[in-house]
């Protein structure tokens, strides 16, 4: 049995992973689709201080409360900022990192400096309070404003993210226009430390390519289990 922690991107909640989580559970795994502070059913918690650290703490809190070890952290889009921070703070609890068409930050990166001018113009479209970025018009009707401080705060790392040896990048190859993640995918595709996949779907791979994504996660979980056994710990059983 593998434990998957599913972290959504901007303006989304755990609902975007609901079907994927159900499919993982049907195959004997544990799956936690999370909603970050200030979003979706937790939108009432939004205030000006909700930042990247808040979202990292959301996930580390789940790892602690549920006594989760050897987690496969799955981050979609902005969620890559969060999962990278979690792996830095609790590396002993993380077996693998999966980036779903996501940012792959290094120390002192923020979402703001990793995206294009087009995305930065979107970030400037804030709600009346000034605390959050409005969802784009084509987002799911359940999307809610995203805490802007989480996009501006730089990620502080204490070690090289490469210490998490099992890292996977899933690239959405079916954007309607140019993808802002193409340079990241091309760089990682040529890096032997990474496993990369190109999937024919738009940015929301959970909706556009659910079967392909499920298979990639199942393969990642199996590989994580083999690495666990190879490190001298018994492989988990479903």
Closest to 213 measured CA to CA, from 173, 153, 164, 154: 173
Q: Are strands 94-100 and 132-133 parallel, antiparallel or unpaired?
A: unpaired
Q: Are strands 132-133 and 146-147 parallel, antiparallel or unpaired?
A: antiparallel
Which residues fall within 8 angstroms of residue 12, CB to CB, at 6 or more apart?
39, 40, 76, 139, 140, 142, 143
Long-range contacts of 156-162 (CB under 8 A, 24+ apart): 156/107, 156/108, 157/84, 157/85, 157/88, 157/106, 157/107, 158/88, 158/89, 159/88, 159/91, 161/84, 161/87, 161/88, 161/97, 161/106, 162/193
The first and second tokens of residue 125, run together, are 């479209």
Catalytic position from the list 43, 77, 129, 223: 77
Closest to 197 measured CA to CA, from 212, 183, 207: 212
Structural contact between residues 42 and 58, judged by C-beta atoms closer than 8 angstroms: no
d(CA 203, CA 88) in angstroms, rounded, equals 26
179 as an active site residue: the answer is no
d(CA 204, CA 58) in angstroms, rounded, equals 22
- Which residues participate in catalysis according to the annotation? 77
């Amino acid at each position: 049995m593998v434990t998957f922690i599913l972290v959504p991107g901007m303006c989304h909640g755990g609902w975007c992973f609901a079907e994927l989580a159900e499919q993982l559970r049907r195959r004997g795994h544990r799956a936690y689709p999370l909603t970050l502070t200030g979003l979706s059913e937790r939108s009432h918690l939004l205030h000006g201080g909700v930042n990247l650290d808040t979202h990292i703490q959301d996930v580390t809190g789940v790892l602690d409360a549920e006594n989760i070890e050897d987690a496969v952290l799955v981050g979609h889009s902005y969620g890559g900022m969060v999962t990278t921070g979690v792996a830095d703070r609790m590396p002993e609890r993380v077996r693998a990192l999966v980036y779903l068409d996501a940012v792959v930050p290094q120390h002192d990166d923020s979402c703001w400096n990793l995206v294009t001018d087009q995305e930065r113009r979107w970030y400037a479209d804030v709600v009346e309070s000034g605390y959050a970025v409005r969802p784009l018009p084509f987002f799911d009707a359940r999307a809610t404003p995203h805490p802007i401080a989480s996009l501006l705060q730089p990620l502080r790392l204490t070690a090289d993210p490469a210490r998490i040896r099992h890292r996977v990048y899933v690239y959405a190859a079916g954007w309607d226009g140019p993808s802002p993640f193409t340079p990241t995918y091309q760089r990682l595709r040529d890096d032997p430390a990474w496993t990369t996949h190109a999937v024919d779907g738009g940015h929301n791979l959970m909706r556009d390519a659910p079967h392909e994504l499920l298979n990639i996660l199942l393969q990642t979980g199996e590989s994580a289990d083999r690495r666990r056994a190879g490190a001298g710990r018994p492989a988990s059983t479903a």
